[in-house]
Amino acid sequence: MMSDYTWFEGIAFPAVGFGKEILEDVRNKFVLKEDDLIILTYPKSGTNWLAETVRLIQTKGDPTWFQSVPIWQRTPWLETDIGYPKLINKEGPRLMNSHLPIHLFPKSLFSSKAKAIYLIRNPRDILVSGYFFWSKAKLGKNPESLGTYFEWFLKGNVPFGSWFEHVRGWLSMREWDNFLVLYYEDMKKDTKGTIKKICEFLGKKLEPDEMDLVLKHSSFQVMKEINMINFSIIGKDVFPNGLNLMRKGTTGDWKKHFTVAQAEAFDKVFQEKMAGFPPGMFPWE
């Protein structure tokens, strides 16, 4: 039984699939190219949804590839033992995911013209989603209750560190031309509008029938059923009781899980840690 994480620079990483040497090489040696596109998220923000949406925009709605190749091979995770070598050897244009906090991200980003999309989600929903994920995974410490995970999350003692620091760090890039900030809540409320925003950022155009295909194949209902997407083919060594990544796909699920005291405690920490951002920065607040 995995009892702890892989630690790098004070940040916890899942105990399987991440190594210090690769994390170091990613930060110091990985060279971003100007046609790279990076999807940046704190875990459980809707990474896979955004990655599928971008892929579908690139294929003009054709999902054929999606049904035969696992999602983590189509859009590799930069900081993983599997993703890093794949990306180094890949011809451009490359699409990659990363959960890294800004200070551990490749330094080459800051002098590159690569594009990045940072997807933000209400951290309360991330907390609940993360609890159900990490408590089932043999990837580190398993919280025995939501209350336990709640405490860990507020302190940042969870994989990839503190949500508050992650978001604060990456939002410092929000004025960069090649940096787009999106919200899970907007993707839910106005999926088409968000797809149009992504198209504009990428300089792509979809015909109405192509847009309909992107909407259809990136929908929760469709993604949930495809085993190359829903994580159900991940080995029993990591998820002994199985897992479907597509758990609920809703906003506000935290209201069904937090006690009144937890909701109040979360509000207080949020206000303290995220003070100073302009109004509207966090649409759910």
Q: Which chain residues interact with ligand PPS by CB under 6 A?
A: 41, 43-49, 125, 129, 218-220, 223, 245-249, 253
How far apart are CB 119 and ligand PPS at their closest, in Å?
A: 8
Nearer to ligand PPS, 108 or 238 (CB): 238
Nearest residue to 53 (alpha-carbon basis) of 241, 208, 226, 199? 199
* Residue with Cβ nearer ligand PPS (210 or 253): 253
41 DSSP β-pair partners: 119
CB of 177 to ligand PPS, least distance (A): 25
In sign, the C-alpha dihedral spanning 97, 100, 102, 106 is negative
Nearer to ligand PPS, 17 or 249 (CB): 249
Please state, in angstroms and rounded to a whole number, the distance separating the CA atoms of residues 280 and 283: 5
Q: Kindly give the residue spans of alpha helices, DSSP state H, lying in the chain.
A: 20-28, 47-58, 71-74, 83-88, 123-134, 146-155, 163-171, 184-189, 191-202, 208-217, 220-225, 260-273
What is the rounded distance in angstroms from the CA atom of residue 96 to the CA atom of residue 87?
Answer: 8
| Shortest Å distance, C-beta 89 to ligand PPS | 23
**Of residues 129 and 162, the one with the C-beta less far from ligand PPS:** 129
Residue 247 beta carbon to ligand PPS: minimum distance, rounded to whole angstroms? 3
Whether the bond into 143 is cis, omega within 30 of 0: no
Query: In the block, which residue shows the tokens 């990045």?
Result: 116
Give the nearest distance from C-beta 77 to ligand PPS in angstroms.
8
Strand-strand pairing, 11-13 and 6-8: antiparallel
How many other CB atoms sit within 10 Å of the CB of residue 98?
23
Which C-beta is closer to ligand PPS: that of 33 or that of 216?
A: 216
Residues 6+ apart with CB under 8 A from 108: 30, 31, 32
Using CA atoms, how far residue 125 sits from 40, 55, 101, 195, in Å, is 18, 25, 19, 22
- Residue 9, number of CB atoms within 10 A of its CB: 12
| Whether 99 is catalytic | yes
Of 99, 103, 166, 257, catalytic: 99
Q: How far is the CB of 34 from ligand PPS (least distance, A)?
A: 26
Residue closer to ligand PPS by CB (options 88, 215) is 215
Show which residues are catalytic. Answer: 99
